[in-house]
Amino acid sequence: MKVLIDIGHPGHVHLFKNFAKAFQERGHRVLFTVRNKEFETELLQSYNFKYVLLGKNFKSLPGKIFGILKFNINLLRAALKFKPDIFFSHGSVYAAHVATMLGKPHISMEDSGNMEQIRLYRPFTKAILTPDVLNEELGKKQVRYKGYHEISYLHPNYFKPDKNVKGLLGLKEGERYCIVRFVSWNATHDIGKRGFSSEEKIRLITELSKSLAVFITSEVDLPVEIKKYQIKLAPHLIHHALAFAEIVVSEGATITSESGVLGTPAIYVSSITRSYIDDQEKYGTVYNCNAGNGVIQKIEKVIGEGKEIYRERRGKLISDKIDVTAFMVWFIENFPQSFSLMKEKPDYQQRFK
């Protein structure tokens, strides 16, 4: 079987990497297609995956509209050469469109519930795999599974944190640190949303640096006052860094969720709600804050509790969820029978614990 996986975000590389490795080990072929946005190509290279670069990502709304045409054409060219049996993605409009052009099924992973994007790919998609906690009802194509995207690559079956990352960060023996994530707020679903203001960013980092080493990962240029804290670490090592941090403060939902799955307490600072973050908050691994006000006080409280309690909560979370990668491999390899089986017997997924 040949599977084409279209990537739209660095997190998507992580989402599909263990699936791709397992699928190739089972004798199948996998090709990634990607747009040059952040560091997606660096990640694909670090894992030795074959990929086709479709061009540079567009940030403006007119550019995004033009991009639908451009990337559809470039993806079609790549697909005609590779001849995939199935297209697989995280809500890729391009993969959905090209799959339909070629008469092949497109299967989408979906966890954000951004309806403006879902409406564009759903008509051209055969199945939409979502966490069971997703609030949105997406119709007869939706298949709910008990897990999150982040479990697919941070489940203990696949990920073992390496303490050597502390040396790569330049930390001294026993030195404690935190990681802060700032996002760009230029996605279509970010319009009208916000996290920290520039002043709040400076105040946050100033306070954190009094007791912890601070590392910032950011999609945007940082204020000059805090630019020196920008992390210098290969992208594929970020999860090792998250695992040993005392706390993570993030405007991005993905890094927040990753931290919670790793047992590192995280504070999500955004006016955008995510159902999987809400679910992790019930486990006590992450916390929601709608804006920057009060975050410093929350950080102090969390650090005072110590990490051991968060490791215990993480253990309960993992035991309640399935091995998402194993489920993905089974679903794709056995599609469309797997779709019918999940509709008839949704508890079938429990064998992937």
Give 229-280 pLDDT, tens digit per residue.
Answer: 999 999 899 999 999 999 999 999 999 999 999 999 999 999 888 999 999 9
pLDDT at position 60: 64
294: amino acid identity, one letter: G
Mean pLDDT of 27-47: 93
The domain 165-320 having CATH identifier 3.40.50.1820: the answer here is: no
Of 79-88, 180-189, 261-270, 331-340, the range with the lowest mean pLDDT is: 180-189
Percent of the chain with pLDDT strictly greater than 70: 94
More confident residue, 341 or 293: 341
Q: For residues 134 and 276, give the distance between their C-alpha atoms in angstroms, rounded to a whole number.
A: 7
Beta strands in the chain, from DSSP E residues, in sequence order = 2-7, 29-36, 51-56, 86-89, 106-109, 127-131, 142-145, 177-182, 213-218, 247-250, 266-269, 286-289
Task: Write the DSSP string, 197-257.
Answer: -HHHHHHHHHHHTTTSEEEEEESSPPPGGGGGGB--S-GGGHHHHHHH-SEEEESSHHHHH
Task: Give the pLDDT band (50/70/90) at residue 190.
Answer: very low
2-147+322-352 belongs to which homologous superfamily? Glycogen Phosphorylase B; (3.40.50.2000)
Angle at 147 between CA 279 and CA 88, to 5 degrees: 125
Task: Give the pLDDT band (50/70/90) at residue 10.
Answer: confident
Cβ partners under 8 Å of residue 95, min gap 6? 4, 6, 33, 75, 87, 88, 89, 106, 108, 121
Mean pLDDT of 73-87: 97
Task: Give the pLDDT band (50/70/90) at residue 129.
Answer: very high
Which has the closest alpha carbon to 246: 301, 283, 195, 295? Answer: 301
Q: For residues 76 and 178, give the distance between their C-alpha atoms in angstroms, rounded to a whole number.
A: 43
Q: For residues 295 and 320, give the distance between their C-alpha atoms in angstroms, rounded to a whole number.
A: 29
Mean pLDDT of 302-320: 95
> Residue 1 in contact with residue 26, Cβ under 8 Å?
no
What three-state secondary structure class fits 190?
helix
Domain with CATH 3.40.50.2000 in the chain: 2-147+322-352, 165-320
